[in-house]
């Protein structure tokens, strides 16, 4: 566990590790020596030899000073390692998470990742700052005392040294069931965190359907599982701790009994016996301290393993040399992909989007339209075939170079709890105020700003909660437009807009994307009809392709799509007359 924990220490703090270990070892050895030196000091005092007693006292004082200095430095270095871990591991985890494929996140909750990044890192910091010294001294001091006692009475020294592996074996057996119980507690705590977050952010929906308080069964179930997991951890910890404490006390009683018997038999003087009893108690104290922090140590060990597991997740690796595309065309060449093994969402998809043109992708829900955009942005690696930009496989481009080529606007809009201007500026942090305002005007965000009391400085709230769905989508569009990448990916970009705002945004998009390569996923004919090319997908495959006029004039999926939209355009609510009962 200690070795794996040291592997997490950032490079700029690695040089502190040997100094910390040496200081801790010196601290432990000096403590053991100070305890053992008590025996000859007592013997000299009991014999009335004040000169020898003075010498032993001076030696003991020197050893105590060494222990104090070493203890100071080991505490100082432990804190430096802990602070370095808090900064280094957090940054390392953040960089690693940013390089993971999105598929990795789909199998985990935000709360479970947060607990690893925050709670587990905190456990590791605590390990370096406090627990490591207790663990080392809990081993070094008893061994040092046992070796020292060998020179006074070999029998008692042997008993001490033999008892150490016995106590260690009992402690190891006691901790066998702890790890699985701690994993269950970690998972249940993450589930509770996710439930509480969902409970607070989804209050309108929960209240609308009366799923608050005890009726919120999901949160209640999560809390119940957490209570059971907490009880399971206690059940797994207490018996082992009790067994270890009993064994420690048995060892201490055995040592005191042996000293008493051998002193009674005259094997050594009364002063030696008193000193050995005191030393026996000091022999047990570090072991007892180690037992008291054993739960924290096991918790830290589990945290180290979880952090290592997260860091071991394979990243989307950048190539050694990023290839340069020859133009802004986008092509799918026999692309296949599935979110789960054996389940294909895209199968042998092939089509080309020439540079500077607009291609619309249409098809029924679940047909793989959004997946194709995600593959184009390399949010997921293709299982087969290749997605190319300007003739270059996106896998042969660095993530930074690829993102410089692409501006995505997806259906699920995420806004940060910052001002409207800051959310737009994320698209290009070095953009001028005029560039931000221009992108906002094109996406009709300026109309939103005019209605808000604080204008551009209005905080949008967590996940953009202070804005409507259509307003959030317009801010997201402005963000992508500000980025001004040569390839624009739009996924239902106008789905949450009313007809007026849709017309404004569509007009602005058409104006701003002149000369750019645009791929748009949409269900609205007003968005699709003006595309240079329409690709019809169904069940993960391309079933038709052409312009709006070409596809609408022949039988096929697109013609059905147009007919369905025409029928849906005139929908209305039918009001049934209600009969009234007249009184007699």
Domain of residue 559, CATH code: 3.40.50.300
Can you tell me the distance from the alpha carbon of 128 to that of 88, in angstroms, rounded to the nearest whole number? 13
Instruction: Supply the pLDDT for residue 207.
Output: 60
Q: 346 in helix, strand or coil?
A: strand
Is residue 584 included in any domain, yes or no?
no
Are 496 and 504 spatial neighbours (Cβ–Cβ below 8 Å)?
Answer: no
Instruction: Give residue 70's pLDDT.
Output: 92
Query: At 64, which CATH number?
Result: 1.20.1560.10
Of residues 181 and 154, the one with the higher pLDDT is 154
Rounded to a whole number of angstroms, the distance between the first and last alpha carbons of the chain is: 88
Strand ranges of the sheet holding 384-389, from the earlier edge strand across to the other edge: 346-353, 330-337, 384-389, 392-393
Say if CB 543 and CB 536 are below 8 A apart: yes
User: In this structure, how many other beta carbons lie within 10 angstroms of the beta carbon of residue 460?
Assistant: 21
For 202-222, write each residue's pLDDT tens digit.
Answer: 665 556 555 555 545 666 676
Among 45-54, 250-259, 385-394, 453-462, whose mean pLDDT is lowest? 453-462
Structure token digits, residue 299:
């918790």
Tokens 């209050």, residue?
Answer: 203
Residue 253 located in a structural domain: yes
Structure confidence at residue 65 (pLDDT): 94
Strand partners, 360: 520, 534
In a domain, 444, yes or no: yes
pLDDT of residue 61: 92
Is residue 51 very low, low, confident or very high in pLDDT (cuts 50, 70, 90)?
Answer: confident
Cα 263 to Cα 270: distance, rounded to the nearest angstrom: 7
Q: What is the dihedral of CA 395, 401, 404, 405, to 10 degrees?
A: -50
The reply to whether 318 falls in a domain is no
Same domain for 226 and 368, yes or no, is: no
From 105-114, 359-368, 382-391, 392-401, the region with the lowest mean pLDDT: 105-114
- Is there a single domain that holds both residue 395 and residue 247? no
Shortest CA distance to 331 belongs to which of 356, 306, 349? 349
Q: Which of 23-27, 425-429, 510-514 has the least mean pLDDT? A: 510-514
**Are 132 and 24 within 8 A, CB to CB?**
yes
Number of separate domains in the chain: 2
Q: How far apart are CA 243 and CA 141, in angstroms?
A: 22
pLDDT in tens, 536-570: 888 888 888 888 888 888 877 777 777 766 665 55
What is the C-alpha separation between 108 and 80, in angstroms, rounded?
A: 33
pLDDT of residue 80: 86
**40 falls within a domain:** yes
- Taking alpha carbons only, the member of 449, 510, 504 closest to residue 475 is 449
Mean pLDDT over the full length of the chain: 80
Measuring CA to CA, how many Å separate 59 from each of 53, 72, 278?
10, 20, 18
376-385 average pLDDT score: 86
In this predicted model, what pLDDT tens digit does every residue of 288-347 receive, in sequence order? Answer: 777 777 777 777 888 888 888 888 888 777 777 888 888 889 999 999 998 877 788 888
Reported confidence tier of residue 186, pLDDT bands at 50, 70, 90: low
Q: In whole angstroms, what is the distance from residue 552 CA to residue 130 CA? A: 73
Does residue 548 form part of some domain? yes
DSSP code at position 316: -
Q: Please determine, for residue 584, whether its predicted confidence score (pLDDT) is greater than 60.
A: no
Cβ neighbours of residue 421 closer than 8 Å, sequence gap 6 or more: 436, 456, 457
The pLDDT of residue 9 is above 60: yes
Query: What percentage of the chain's residues is helix, strand, coil (to nearest 5)?
Result: 65, 10, 25
**Would the pTM count as exceeding 0.75?**
no
Same domain, 282 and 389: no
Same domain, 388 and 422: yes
What is the CB neighbour count within 10 angstroms for residue 526?
A: 13
Q: Are 149 and 241 part of one and the same domain?
A: yes
Any idea how long the chain is?
584
| Cβ 310 vs Cβ 92: under 8 Å | no
Per-residue pLDDT at 106: 65
Tokens of 470: 């259509």
> Does 453 fall in a domain?
yes
Are 30 and 63 in contact, with CB atoms under 8 Å apart? yes
pLDDT number for residue 496: 58
Q: How many CA atoms lie within 13 A of 581 on its CB side?
A: 2
**DSSP assignments along 313-372, one per residue:** SPP-PPPSS----SSS-EEEEEEEE-SBTTB-SEEEEEEEE-TT-EEEEE-STTSSHHHH
pLDDT given at position 128: 82
280/425 same-domain check: no
305 and 407 fall within a common domain: no
* Cβ pair 174, 244 in contact under 8 A: yes
Q: Looking at the domain assignment, is residue 322 inside a domain?
A: no
Q: How many CB atoms sit inside 10 A of residue 149's CB? A: 27
Instruction: Output the pLDDT for position 69.
Output: 94
Helix, strand or coil, per DSSP, at residue 384: strand
Q: Please check whether residues 277 and 359 belong to one and the same domain.
A: no
Look at residue 215 in the predicted model and tell me its pLDDT.
46
SS (H, E, C) 21-84: HHHHHHHHHHHHHHHHHHHHHHHHHHCCCHHHHHHHHHHHHHHHHHHHHHHHHHHHHHHHHHHH
Predicted local confidence at residue 583, as pLDDT:
45
For residues 198 and 347, membership in a common domain is answered with no
Residue-level pLDDT at 580: 47
- Residues 350 and 250 reside in one and the same domain: no
In angstroms and rounded to an integer, the radius of gyration of the C-alpha atoms of the chain is: 35
Range of the domain at 562: 330-569
Q: Residue 26: its pLDDT value, please?
A: 92
Question: Is residue 503 domain-shared with residue 356, that is, in the same domain?
Answer: yes
Q: Is the pLDDT of residue 500 over 60?
A: yes
Same domain for 392 and 507, yes or no, is: yes
């Amino acid at each position: 566990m200690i070795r794996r924990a040291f592997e997490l220490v950032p490079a700029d703090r690695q040089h502190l590790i040997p100094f910390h270990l040496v200081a801790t070892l010196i601290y432990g050895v000096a403590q053991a020596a100070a305890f053992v030196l008590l025996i000859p000091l007592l013997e000299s005092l009991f014999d009335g030899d004040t000169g020898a007693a003075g010498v032993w006292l001076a030696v003991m004082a020197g050893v105590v000073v060494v222990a104090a200095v070493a203890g100071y430095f080991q505490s100082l270095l432990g804190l430096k390692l802990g602070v370095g871990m808090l900064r280094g591991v957090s940054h390392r985890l953040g960089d690693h998470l940013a390089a993971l494929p999105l598929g990795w996140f789909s199998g985990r909750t935000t709360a479970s990742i947060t607990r690893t990044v925050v709670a587990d890192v905190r456990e590791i910091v605590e390990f370096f700052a406090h627990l490591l010294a207790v663990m080392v001294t809990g081993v070094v001091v008893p061994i040092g005392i046992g070796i020292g006692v060998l020179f006074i009475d070999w029998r008692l020294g042997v008993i001490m040294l033999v008892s150490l592996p016995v106590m260690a074996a009992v402690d190891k057996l006691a901790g066998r069931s702890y790890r699985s119980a701690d994993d269950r507690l970690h998972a249940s705590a993450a589930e509770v965190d996710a439930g509480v977050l969902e409970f607070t952010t989804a209050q309108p929906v929960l209240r609308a359907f009366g799923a608050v308080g005890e009726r919120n069964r999901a949160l209640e179930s999560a809390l119940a599982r957490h209570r059971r997991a907490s009880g399971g951890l206690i059940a797994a910890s207490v018996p082992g701790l009790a067994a270890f404490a009993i064994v420690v006390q048995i060892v201490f009683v055995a040592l005191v009994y042996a000293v008493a018997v051998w002193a009674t038999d005259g094997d050594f003087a009364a002063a030696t016996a008193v000193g050995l009893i005191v030393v026996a108690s000091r022999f047990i104290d570090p072991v007892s301290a180690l037992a008291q922090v054993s739960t924290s140590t096991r918790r830290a060990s589990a945290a180290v393993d979880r952090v290592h597991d997260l860091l071991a997740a394979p990243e989307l690796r950048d190539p050694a040399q990023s290839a340069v595309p020859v133009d802004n065309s986008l092509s799918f060449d026999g692309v296949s992909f599935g979110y789960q093994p054996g389940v294909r969402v895209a199968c042998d998809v092939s089509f080309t989007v020439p540079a500077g043109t607009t291609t619309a992708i249409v098809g029924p829900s679940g047909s793989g339209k959004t997946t194709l955009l995600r593959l184009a942005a390399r949010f997921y690696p293709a299982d087969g075939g290749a997605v190319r930009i300007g003739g270059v496989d996106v896998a042969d481009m660095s993530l930074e170079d690829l993102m410089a080529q692409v501006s995505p606007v997806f259906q699920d809009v995420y806004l940060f709890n910052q001002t409207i201007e800051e959310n737009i500026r994320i698209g290009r942090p070095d953009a001028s105020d005029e560039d931000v305002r221009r992108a906002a005007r094109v996406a009709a965000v300026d109309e939103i700003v005019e209605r808000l009391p604080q204008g551009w400085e209005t905080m949008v709230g967590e996940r953009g909660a202070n804005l409507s769905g259509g307003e959030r989508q317009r801010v997201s569009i402005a963000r992508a437009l500000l980025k001004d990448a040569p390839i624009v990916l739009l996924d239902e970009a106008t789905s949450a807009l009313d007809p007026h705002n849709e017309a404004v945004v569509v007009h602005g998009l058409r104006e701003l994307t002149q000369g750019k390569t645009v791929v748009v996923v949409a269900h609205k004919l007003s968005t699709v009809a003006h595309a240079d090319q329409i690709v019809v997908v169904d069940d993960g495959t391309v079933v038709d392709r052409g312009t709006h006029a070409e596809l609408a004039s022949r039988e096929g999926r697109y013609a059905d799509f147009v007919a369905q939209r025409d029928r849906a355009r005139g929908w209305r609510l039918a009001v049934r007359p209600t009969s009234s009962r007249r009184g007699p």
